């Protein structure tokens, strides 16, 4: 998969904000190797079982066959663990709060642009702490950072919760997740944060001397989000006319389209306007020799939040025509009021996109109390299904096999929508979000 300029610019903006928050919460960036020796990958049993079937193996370097196969990292827990085992000695070395921006490879049979690709870009945080409590706090903290970026920058509402045992990360004690709903009613896991407890620490012998002079195992976390967020963005906000990009992460927030640009003064005025607005927004101008209709179309397809049209008559009246991508609403704005109004309009669009996505998700969230009700929901209004679950993996497995519906998470915000498991009818006290997922 190639990420072209517009897609990569979106990633740069997502990355920019997330990196800022990762640093603000005390983490530093590092870079660990792409390759993992097979023996190292095998050190933690659950982890290798989860990942070995989907890694790419390097067997030759140059002309020579390698003595030991190495894999291209599918994730880097074992590399960080190996490093921590050699570099953590005392409580003074803790916490270790590392993050890296990198590429990873998972040998998937079926791929889908941005959502599931053989190689993808991501950040992976790997931290080590003195106590389980600290590690658990870190796991929560990073889930909140993810939720903030996805909700407040990508304008996508999330459901926060915990993965079930069968859906958690290979090697984790538990996995927290933010789950989103796409326009077509399918769910997407948008970011995860894992508590490892001391499982990896024991496998890799990562111990430190505590204040009382006793050897203790560290407690670890890891957390990641990927370029699939670009896919989420497209599938949540896009419509039949193309993309709709939330202003806060839009590479171009405002596109100026000159009308009758061959007429004297139009282009000059349009460029002046661009230069003025450049102080308050990411603004560009389409002065190509395409027809205005073609340009409008291009603006819609690219999903620029705001389009500003300026022609001879507008210049006469000292105004511009401003068109919102989200509502298609057209308004005349006096030239001297643009500086004041534009930032507010961009914020309104940001908020409106979030509100629309939330309303859409609410409309597509059904409470179901039996398998029949699930069938009906899948047929009539597919989306999130809220249902009580007994906790038995047999029910989870059955629903997955029969309906291709998986548990998305046990939400933090619990409700008791029934007394019994919607699948087996036994007593149940956990609410779970279910859906067909990407």
Q: Given the complex with a copy of itself, which of 72 and 267 has the nearer CB atom? A: 72
Q: Given the complex with a copy of itself, which of 73 and 364 has the nearer CB atom? A: 73
Determine which residue in the list 5, 67, 213, 293 makes contact with a copy of itself, applying CB under 8 A: 5
Q: Given the complex with a copy of itself, which of 200 and 434 has the nearer CB atom? A: 200
| Contact letters for a copy of itself, residues 11-50 (x by CB under 8 A) | xx---------------xxxxxxxx---------------
- What's the rounded Cα separation, in Å, for the pair 28 and 414? 35
Q: Given the complex with a copy of itself, which of 119 and 137 has the nearer CB atom? A: 119
Shortest distance (Å) from residue 101 CB to a copy of itself: 9
Q: Given the complex with a copy of itself, which of 79 and 423 has the nearer CB atom? A: 79
Question: In degrees, to the nearest 5, what angle opens at C-alpha 34 toward C-alphas 84 and 204?
Answer: 25
What's CA 216's distance to the chain center, in Å? Answer: 35
Shortest distance (Å) from residue 234 CB to a copy of itself: 16
| Cis ω before 95 (30° cut-off from 0) | yes
Side-chain half-sphere of 205: how many Cα atoms within 13 Å? 2
**54 belongs to the binding site for a copy of itself (CB under 8 A):** yes
Shortest distance (Å) from residue 45 CB to a copy of itself: 18
Here the tokens at position 137 are 């706090």
**Residue whose tokens read 């998305």:** 408
Residue 274, SS3? helix
The CA-based diameter of the chain, rounded to the nearest angstrom, is 82
Determine which residue in the list 17, 38, 46, 119 makes contact with a copy of itself, applying CB under 8 A: 119
Shortest distance (Å) from residue 73 CB to a copy of itself: 11
Query: What is the footprint of a copy of itself within residues 69-98 (CB under 8 A)?
Result: 69, 72, 83, 98
- What's the rounded Cα separation, in Å, for the pair 232 and 211? 46
Q: Given the complex with a copy of itself, which of 121 and 280 has the nearer CB atom? A: 121
Residues near a copy of itself (CB under 8 A), total: 39
- Shortest CA distance to 407 belongs to which of 47, 162, 142? 162
**Residue whose tokens read 């995860």:** 192
Q: Given the complex with a copy of itself, which of 72 and 335 has the nearer CB atom? A: 72
Q: Given the complex with a copy of itself, which of 58 and 333 has the nearer CB atom? A: 58
- 112 forms beta bridges with 116
* H/E run at residue 396: helix 393-403
Helices (H), 153-208: 199-204
User: CB 100: neighbour CB atoms within 10 A?
Assistant: 18
* H/E run at residue 72: strand 64-72
| Contact letters for a copy of itself, residues 254-293 (x by CB under 8 A) | ----------------------------------------
- What's the rounded Cα separation, in Å, for the pair 62 and 77? 27
Q: Which residues bind a copy of itself (CB under 8 A)?
A: 1-5, 8-9, 11-12, 28-35, 53-63, 69, 72, 83, 98, 102-103, 105, 107, 118-119, 121
């Amino acid at each position: 998969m190639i990420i072209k300029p517009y897609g990569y610019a979106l990633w740069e903006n997502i990355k920019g904000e997330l990196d800022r928050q990762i640093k603000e919460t005390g983490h530093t960036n590092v870079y660990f190797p792409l390759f993992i020796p097979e023996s190292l990958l095998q050190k933690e049993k659950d982890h290798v079982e989860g990942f070995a079937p989907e890694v790419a193996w390097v067997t030759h370097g140059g002309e020579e066959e390698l003595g030991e196969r190495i894999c291209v990292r599918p994730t880097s827990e074992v590399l960080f663990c190996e490093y921590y085992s050699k570099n953590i000695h005392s409580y003074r070395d803790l916490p270790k709060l590392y993050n890296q921006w990198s590429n990873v490879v998972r040998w998937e049979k079926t791929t889908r642009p941005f959502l599931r690709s053989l190689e993808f870009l991501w950040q992976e945080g790997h931290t080590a702490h003195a106590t389980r409590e600290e590690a658990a706090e870190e796991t929560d903290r990073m889930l909140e950072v993810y939720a903030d970026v996805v909700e407040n920058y990508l304008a996508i509402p999330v459901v926060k919760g915990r993965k079930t045992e069968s859906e958690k990360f290979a090697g984790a004690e538990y996995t927290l997740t933010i789950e989103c709903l796409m326009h077509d009613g399918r769910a997407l896991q948008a970011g995860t944060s894992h508590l490892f407890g001391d499982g990896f620490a024991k496998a890799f012998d990562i111990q430190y001397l505590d204040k009382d002079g006793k050897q203790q195992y560290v407690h670890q976390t890891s957390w990641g989000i990927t370029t699939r967020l670009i896919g989420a963005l497209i599938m949540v906000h896009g419509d039949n006319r193309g993309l709709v990009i939330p202003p806060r992460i839009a590479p171009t927030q405002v596109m100026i389209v000159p009308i009758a640009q061959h007429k004297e003064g139009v282009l000059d005025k349009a460029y002046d306007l661009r230069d003025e607005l450049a102080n308050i927004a990411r603004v560009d101008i389409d002065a190509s020799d395409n027809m205005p209709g073609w340009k409008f179309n291009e603006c819609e397809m690219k999903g620029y939040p705001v389009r500003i049209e300026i022609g001879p008559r507008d210049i006469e009246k000292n105004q511009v025509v401003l068109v919102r991508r989200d509502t298609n609403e057209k308004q005349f704005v006096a030239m001297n009021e643009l500086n004041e109004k534009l930032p507010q309009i961009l914020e309104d669009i940001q908020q409106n996109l979030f509100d629309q996505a939330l309303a859409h998700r609410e409309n597509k969230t059904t409470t179901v109390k039996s398998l029949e009700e699930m069938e009906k929901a899948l047929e009539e209004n597919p989306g999130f299904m809220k249902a009580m679950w007994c906790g038995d993996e047999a029910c989870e497995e059955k629903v997955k096999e029969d309906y291709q519906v998986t548990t998305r998470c046990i939400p933090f915000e619990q409700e008791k929508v029934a007394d019994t498991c919607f699948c087996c009818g036994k007593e149940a006290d956990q609410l779970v979000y279910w859906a067909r997922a990407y």
